[in-house]
Amino acid sequence: MDEPLLQMKNLSVRFFTYQGVVRALENVDLTIQRGEIMGLVGETGCGKSVLARSILRLIADPPGKIMGGEVFFKGEDILKVSRKRLREIRGNDISMIFQEPMSSLNPVFTVGNQMQEVVILHQKVNSLQAKDICIQMLQQVKMPDPEQILSKYPHELSGGMRQRVMIAMELSCRPDLLIADEPTTALDVTVQGQVLTILDDLVRRLGVSVLFISHDLGVIAQLCDRVSVMYAGKIVERAPVWDLFAAPKHPYTHGLLQAIPSVDEERDPLLVIAGTVPGLIQPPEGCRFHPRCYRRFEPCDHVVPHFREDKKNHFVACHLYGDE
């Protein structure tokens, strides 16, 4: 098989706070192939954004610290490269879209100003050429009247438009990997669909790999090729999207899928996973999910389950599978 575009091995990130050490990520492995859209699902606070940010070393230090592990991008360990090389990778090779379209653009400059700034910096063109590139990109994200948009300030655009501007901006440098950290969470459903369609279409056309983070399983199902499920700082299951939805293995994934409200099935009341996400300062021993798990048995509260391949391409970290 080809070398994967991004390969994360054993990544651990901790935050040192006054209350104690937050183990935000523990030994996380993740691979993204070229041209693939990888979904990352999990509840609020399980470490999705930390994972996304640590790929670009955007964790605020202090209090955060990358404790160990490797993130290979095209064979180069991002965690070890010089600051100069890191800046080249950011934007040129990997770019990122954030959750809040409202505050992702600088309010005192026009959209055109900010887009051109990025294009000029990364592609070494003059401002007229940059403008053309920006207009092209805005057309690709289906913005009406791109020339007009360029001279507007961020506050004059709606959330959906701003997010499309962000997509255009991040893709204008033709990165190999796009990290999208809940790009549609702050948008309402109709706009969300629009933005997702545009993102999907554009990404497939340009052949960009995407790490798509969301807590919305519906969105994941629509967009992604493979999905990783995260729970309390660990990845508990990974599978091609249809395998995961058809036959979830980990009890947590199972619970997540059960908790989607459905219109055409009479399922009353909605099933929920009991309890809440554990604090990551003192996470539960053994499997981190065991206090909430409805199928826990003997080893769960003291043995950490390994992440193993149960079926082809379907990985799971749970004592129910395998022979341990």
Partner 1 sequence: MWTEFRKEHAWQIKEFFFTLRLLGRNPSAVAGFVIIFIMVWMALFAAWLSPYDPIHISLQERLSSPSSAHLFGTDEVGRDILSRIMYGARISLRIGVLVILIAGGCGAIIGAISGYLGQRIDNLIMRVMDVILSFPPLVLAMALAAALGPSLNNAILAVAFVMIPKFARMVRGEALAVKEKQFIAAARASGAKSLWIILHHILPNCFSSVIILATLILGETILIAASLSFIGLGAQPPTPEWGAMVSVGRKFLMDQWWYATFPGLFILMTVIGFNIFGDALRDILDPRIRR
Return residues touching partner 1 (CB under 8 A).
56, 58, 62, 86-92, 95-96, 98-100, 103-110, 112, 117-118, 121-122, 126-128, 151, 153, 155-156, 166, 169-170, 173, 179
CB neighbours of residue 186 within 10 Å: 18
Q: Could you tell me how far CA 123 lies from the centroid of its own chain?
A: 26
Q: Quick one: 173 or 221, whose CB is closer to partner 1?
A: 173
Q: Quick one: 179 or 239, whose CB is closer to partner 1?
A: 179
Please report the DSSP string for 245-298 in residue order. Answer: HHS--SHHHHHHHHTS--SSS---SPP--SS-PPPSSSPPSSSTTGGG-TT--G
Q: Quick one: 96 or 210, whose CB is closer to partner 1?
A: 96
Instruction: Please report which residue ranges of the chain form alpha helices under DSSP H.
Output: 48-55, 83-92, 111-123, 127-140, 146-150, 159-171, 189-206, 217-223, 241-246, 251-258
CB of 93 to partner 1, least distance (A): 9
CB of 108 to partner 1, least distance (A): 5
| Strand residues in 33-113 grouped as ranges (E) | 37-41, 64-73, 76-77, 94-97
Distance CA 95, CA 145 (A): 25
CB of 98 to partner 1, least distance (A): 5
Q: Quick one: 65 or 308, whose CB is closer to partner 1?
A: 65
CB of 42 to partner 1, least distance (A): 20
CB of 96 to partner 1, least distance (A): 4
Q: Quick one: 184 or 253, whose CB is closer to partner 1?
A: 184
